[in-house]
Structure 1
Amino acid sequence: MHATQTPYAQNPLRALLLLACRTVLGVVFIAHGWSKFTEPTIQATIKQFAAWKVPFPDITAPLVGALEVLGGACLVLGAYTWVVCVLLSLEMAGAIWFIHRHNGLLVGRGGWEYCASLIAGLISLSIASAGKFSYDAWANGPEEPSGRSRSRRR
């Protein structure tokens, strides 16, 4: 390593950038999840899911809304980040499949680019970890210089 380079896990900006990424993604998911219950109602969301032919809309609509709200909160806190990123990525893949795939790429036409961008952000976050300013870091201990977290084993 060059003398002026900082190891990946020790870079002071890394923790702040990961916090910013988690916060943006988390707030987006919270807002979209909350809107499934409130704009206008969960019953309207269930009807929309049924119109899109999403399986079991009475179950999936509230489940998706809850996953987005709770998963978004976990992202903001940096809690269970890897698991939450996987679950939300699977949900976004389902949104692409059931809702957006026939509409092309562009979001203005109902396309799948927005969902794919969220998946890319979630995958990146799951690879990078939640960072130093997170519940995960507090629960699992500091990261190794390689960027991987170390489990607390006693």
Structure 2
Amino acid sequence: MADRLQTQWAPRILSIVRIVAALIFMEHGTTKLLGFPPSEMPTPEVMSLMWIGGMLEMVGGALLVVGLFTRPVALILSGEMAVAYWMFHAPNGVFPLVNGGDAAILFCFLFLYIAFAGGGPWSVDAIFRGKK
């Protein structure tokens, strides 16, 4: 019974985790680029590293929410978070809790997992796969 429940729900939970993580991630981009939700962070200059990061977070997050191009988008976002951690967080200290990079590390490895696992059954990618 438990095995059947796990087999039945694991793909659905993957979809739920993808959607929730993508919504939270997308919020980082909307804060940087649209000022919503409001923060102390100034709007970055167009084509600066922070602006490019904001675009990746907002557009990539939106694509992951709906599950479109899930694997390549998740791989790109995983790389973005690795770069963000090593460029902006790691120089401020060894420990992620102290340097503020704990979310970057979690997003990096969560998106890396999603790049390999896919978006789950509740995704646009799954709809396209079903039509083939």
Task: Measure the CA separation in 2 of the matches of 1:77 and 1:13.
Answer: 19
Equivalent residue runs for 1:1-154 within 5 Å: 5-6=3-4, 11-37=7-33, 38=35, 39=38, 44-46=42-44, 58-102=47-91, 103-107=93-97, 109-141=98-130, 152=132
Say whether the 8 Å CA contact 1:104–1:112 is kept in structure 2.
Answer: no
Say whether the 8 Å CA contact 1:104–1:111 is kept in structure 2.
Answer: no
**Identity over the aligned pairs, expressed in percent?**
27
**Shift of residue 93, structure 1, vs aligned partner:** 1.1
RMSD: 2.7
Q: Read off the aligned partner of 2:60 and give its amino acid letter.
A: G
Q: Secondary structure at the match of 1:79?
A: coil
Between structure 1 and structure 2, the one with the greater Rg is 1
Task: Output one character per residue of 1:31-90: Cα deviation in whole Å (capped at 9) or x when no partner.
Answer: 111111214588x2437xxxxxxxxx8432222111101111111111111111111111
Task: Measure the CA separation in 1 of the matches of 2:109 and 2:39.
Answer: 29
**Shift of residue 5, structure 1, vs aligned partner:** 4.8
The alignment of Structure 1 onto Structure 2 pairs a total of residues equal to 127
Higher percent of residues as helix: 2
For normalisation by structure 2, the TM-score amounts to 0.81
Say whether the 8 Å CA contact 1:31–1:69 is kept in structure 2.
Answer: yes
**Shift of residue 137, structure 1, vs aligned partner:** 0.7
Task: Measure the CA separation in 2 of the matches of 1:110 and 1:64.
Answer: 19
Listed as ranges, the gaps of 5+ residues in structure 1 are 48-56, 143-151
Judging changes above 3 Å, is the alpha-carbon distance between structure 1 residues 80 and 15 closer, same or farther for their aligned structure 2 residues? same
